[in-house]
Amino acid sequence: MNADPSCIFCKIVAGEIPAKILLEEDDLLVFHDIQGQAPTHLLAIPKRHIATLNDVAQPSDAEAMLLGRLLSACARAAAKAGVEDYRVVNNCGEAAGQSVFHIHLHLLGGREFSWPPG
């Protein structure tokens, strides 16, 4: 499995840092965000290190399937968490708010959200 030893999410995947995991599959994890911005705030990550969405702008078939599985995992995790209405967000790049450079989807639920989000 491709990992970055300095990446906090890779350390979670490796079991070096604890996380409250809601869903685990062969190639992905969904866990609770420790700095939640909503009553339900989950992070869906691939177990393989990919820094940003830009790194899979021209995905292989396997990468495209992984990205689709991440979205699908969000739906399964939301159901498991008892959330019907939710928002899924990906921040790509520092100026967009990405603070951990390992692709991750934020699943936010449990309250109403306004639009536009920023």
104 is catalytic: yes
Query: What is the CB-side half-sphere exposure of residue 64 using CA atoms within 13 A?
Result: 5
Q: 41, 49, 102, 104: which one is catalytic?
A: 104
Residues 6+ apart with CB under 8 A from 43: 9, 30, 31, 32, 33, 104, 105, 106, 107
Compute the Cα dihedral for 12, 77, 72, 42 and give only its sign: negative
- Catalytic machinery residues: 104
